[in-house]
Chains A and B, each alone.
Chain A
Amino acid sequence: MSNVILLILQIIGYIFISIGTFFLLLASIGLLRMPDVYNRMQTATKATTLGALSVLVGIGLIDLGWLPKSLIIAAFIVLTAPIGASALARASYKHGVKLWEGSVVDKYKEEKEED
């Protein structure tokens, strides 16, 4: 009985890993396809965070001994990746990196001009 459960968990783990690698691939494609820094940052951060998370959970499910460690690493990635991305985006805006010419609103700039 427990063997069946382990097998099912392994299959779920492989599914998780496939989802994760798929999203990592999408992130790298998005990095090439997107027009400006902010769009690229958005694709890369969201998709790689989810992808890495999914791969780590999948590894933990395939070999249950790894589950605590992989969950800790996943928690670290979830905490740090968005913070790093926000700092990078803010720094590039302050450094004067232009938005894509197709973008419509720039509320941050408007707010600054009002001040």
Chain B
Amino acid sequence: MKRVLAIIIAILLFVVFAMAFAKIPFGEQMSKYPHYYNPIENQTSNMSLPQHYLTYGKKDTGATNMVTAVVVDYRGFDTLGEVTVLFLASTGVGSLMYVENKAKKKVKRSNAVVETGSKLLFGFIILFGAYIFIHGHLTPGGGFPGGAIIASSFLLLYLAYPKFHAEHKRLNVSESLAGLTFVIVGLLGLAIAGYFLYNFLPFGLPTYLFSAGVIPVIYVAIGVKVGSELTGIVDAMMGVRE
């Protein structure tokens, strides 16, 4: 009876959402979105907001990856909030898992194939993660996936070697320095141009590595921060082992 009721409610919700989603225009009909109000020029623009991003995004930000342009440049506060959420999550896990005298868990050794393989792959995965967050303004990806990939390489070592232990103090230092870089870049923008997170560096040629002003700097900071934060969470959850 309970299950039938749940299924009926789920179907009803699905119908309601489907009816609502049917009204959202797709693709070519982008001009059907309402035109946005531009507070700087104090008038309603002649195109919708997504159209504006696609038309002027490259000129405004210098980034060829439009998602990056929106996430780091147009809506930089959103990313700042996400980074804060991750920082709070890592601090929360650290404080919940903190025990003064942790009992040491016995962990069996994994086999030689896994040990050698993860030792071999560790460097490659770090390299790939760094590639992802350094090229955030050119290719898909960015700071968050790159950081997650770096954390996954550390997770690999944690799983392969029972005694592996990333030093928590160093993780905290790199995490804090990366977060500080983000905020300082934002404050420099405030000092130079009057907007927080203003893109004050030269744009350079589009599609080249040194382009898009402050976006790569911010994404490198986010990548290091996310990587060390997730590694810290893994470390706290693994506990002390022997």
| B116-157 residues at the A interface, CB under 8 angstroms | 117-118, 120-121, 124
Instruction: Answer yes or no: B113 CB below 8 A from chain A CBs.
Output: yes
Interface flags for B205-218 (1: CB within 8 Å of A; 0: not) read: 00000000000000
A-contacting residues, B82-128, CB 8 Å: 110-111, 113-114, 117-118, 120-121, 124
Give Cα A76 to B124, complex, Å: 9
Interface residues in A, total, Cβ within 8 A: 8
Q: Is the CB of B121 within 8 A of A90?
A: no
Q: Which of A24-32, A44-52, A79-87 contacts B (4 or more CB under 8 A)?
A: A79-87
A73 to chain B, nearest CB (A): 11
- Interface of A, helix, strand, loop or mixed by DSSP: helix
Count, chain B residues at interface, CB 8 A = 9
Cα-based distance from A90 to B110 in the complex (angstroms) = 9
Task: A83 to B124: give the CA distance in the assembly, Å.
Answer: 15
Contact of A86 among B114, B118, B120 (CB under 8 A): B114
Please tell me if the beta carbons of B113 and A87 are within 8 angstroms of each other in the complex.
yes
**Would you call A79 and B121 a contact (CB within 8 A)?**
yes
Q: Which residues of A contact B110 (CB under 8 A)?
A: 87
A80 to B120, CA, bound (A): 10
Query: Closest Cβ of chain A: how far from B99's Cβ, in Å?
Result: 28
Q: How far is the CA of A79 from the CA of B124 in the complex (A)?
A: 11
**Min CB–CB distance A95 → chain B (angstroms):** 12
Report which of A76, A79, A87 forms a contact with B114, defined as CB distance below 8 A.
A87
Question: Are the C-beta atoms of A86 and B121 separated by less than 8 Å?
Answer: no
Q: Provide the residues of chain B in CB contact with A82, threshold 8 Å.
A: 113
Contacts of A87 in B (CB 8 A): 110-111, 113-114
- Complex interface: chain B residues within 8 A of A90 (CB): 111
Which residue of the partner chain B has the closest CB to A86?
A: B113
Taking a contact as CB atoms under 8 Å apart, the answer to whether B113 and A80 are in contact is: no
A76, A79, A83 pick with most chain B CB within 10 angstroms: A83
Bits for A83-103, please: 1 = Cβ < 8 Å to B, else 0.
100110010000000000000
Q: In the bound complex, what is the Cα–Cα distance between A79 and B121 (angstroms)? A: 8
Query: Of all chain B residues, which has the CB nearest A80?
Result: B121
Cα-based distance from A86 to B120 in the complex (angstroms): 16
Q: How far is the CB of B101 from chain A (nearest CB, A)?
A: 30
Sample of 6 further A-B pairs with CB below 8 A, known A83-B114, A87-B110, A87-B114: A79-B121, A82-B113, A83-B117, A86-B113, A87-B113, A90-B111
19 A-B pairs whose Cβ atoms sit less than 8 Å apart in the complex: A76-B124, A79-B117, A79-B120, A79-B121, A80-B117, A80-B121, A82-B113, A83-B113, A83-B114, A83-B117, A83-B118, A86-B111, A86-B113, A86-B114, A87-B110, A87-B111, A87-B113, A87-B114, A90-B111
